[in-house]
Amino acid sequence: MSQQSKVFCEPYCIEQGLQFEIHHVAYQKDAPYSCLMHFHEVHEFIVFEHVNGQYFNQLGETHIRDNDIVFTPALETHDFELNNEQKSWFIIQFLPELFQQTELQHLMPFFEKGVHLKASNDHALQVQQLTQWLLESYQQNPISYRSLTLLKLLVLTIADVYQPVVQQDALKIPMNDGLQRLAPVLNLFKDEQYIDISLEQAAKLCFLSPSYFSRMFKKVFRCNFSEYLVRHKLNIAARRLSQTQDSITDISYDLGFANPSHFIAQFKKTYDQTPLKYRKQMIDRTI
């Protein structure tokens, strides 16, 4: 996987002054890929080129294939589990206010919840071409009239030619009850920039025993609570590295890591590069 393709969807946070971001992601065969159940503060389309795996959201699980699209609204938890073959996709994140624009308001009910979408090959190729044009325009000028027009045209086209995966194709899993019972802790992750809470404290918030909370959390998020907490901190760190001049030392202590060395080791383990290298990469991307 090339250096410029080492993209994780979680750390992307739309830069101030922009209405959207778009990035292309590509993994070679057997390249390491990792994603945990997570959420964004913005809406997200993932336009897949080549993929084979599972998509998880609050409604259940579906099988994703080449040219599929997944839409996830702001603050809705979701995750992907993909095989080790070559894979690639476009990530498009945009402010929820986009749907307030006159030409898109009628689409709000369609995109009210997370949805997995499929289309015919011809329609999928049209959307892939539109997405490529949007990426090129964004790289030239993300706030140009052309970029914003292409974004709206892409959303309109997806809604017009793509269809939700029908119910009988969905492999339902019992996540709703678990998410509801874990809601007090999940709201902390959504509402607070930084939280430092033990498993026992989290379980108490949910009126569950620590052992039952731990089992339920792992069932819903497919990782243990401590792992998710570290990943959440690292996501915040990645955003601060890309959007502020805060020192690595300050970030590490602000987020509760024992020392900068521990923070750097954890960051490199997750993002396959040091915080300093990540910051430089993000700065270079905006030049």
List the CATH number of the domain containing 210. Answer: 1.10.10.60
Contact 100, 81 (CB under 8 A): no
Lowest mean pLDDT among 10-14, 93-97, 133-137: 10-14
Whether residue 208 sits in one domain with residue 141: no
Whether residue 124 sits in one domain with residue 21: yes
What residues make up the domain containing 246? Answer: 176-286
Structural domains counted in the chain: 2
Whether the per-residue pLDDT at 31 is higher than 60: the answer is yes
Q: Among the three residues 106, 141, 169, which one is the final residue of a domain in this structure?
A: 169
Q: What is the DSSP string of 110-127?
A: TTSS-EEEE--HHHHHHH
Whether residue 161 sits in one domain with residue 71: yes
Whether residue 250 sits in one domain with residue 159: no
Spatial distance between the Cα atoms of 253 and 271, rounded to a whole number of angstroms: 19
Q: pLDDT band for position 214 (50/70/90)?
A: very high
Q: pLDDT band for position 232 (50/70/90)?
A: confident
Once rounded to an integer, what is the mean pLDDT over residues 134-142? 95
Other Cβ atoms closer than 10 A to 171: 10
List the strands of the sheet with 53-57, edge to edge: 60-64, 53-57, 78-82
Q: Among the three residues 144, 169, 194, which one is the final residue of a domain in this structure?
A: 169
Please name the amino acid found at residue 114. Answer: G
Whether residue 40 sits in one domain with residue 16: yes
Whether residue 164 sits in one domain with residue 32: yes
pLDDT per residue as tens digits for the range 146-170? 999 999 999 999 999 999 986 444 4
Once rounded to an integer, what is the mean pLDDT over residues 5-31? 71
Whether residue 151 sits in one domain with residue 32: yes
Beta-bridge mates of residue 78: 38, 57
Q: What is the DSSP letter of 173?
A: -
Whether residue 51 sits in one domain with residue 182: no
* Residue 128 token pair: 């892939």
Q: β-pairing, 69-72 with 78-82?
A: unpaired
Q: pLDDT band for position 246 (50/70/90)?
A: very high
Tokens 């959207």 — which residue?
20
Confidence (pLDDT) at 221: 75
Whether residue 161 sits in one domain with residue 199: no
pLDDT per residue as tens digits for the range 167-190? 444 444 445 566 678 888 877 876
Report the run of H or E that residue 43 belongs to, with start and end.
Answer: strand 43-50
SS3 of residue 139 by DSSP: helix
Lowest mean pLDDT among 26-40, 71-85, 122-136, 255-269: 26-40
Beta-bridge mates of residue 23: 91
Whether residue 94 sits in one domain with residue 54: yes
Q: Among the three residues 141, 169, 197, which one is the final residue of a domain in this structure?
A: 169
Whether residue 159 sits in one domain with residue 50: yes
SS3 of residue 65 by DSSP: coil
* pTM of the predicted model as reported, rounded to 2 decimal places: 0.71
Whether residue 180 sits in one domain with residue 164: no
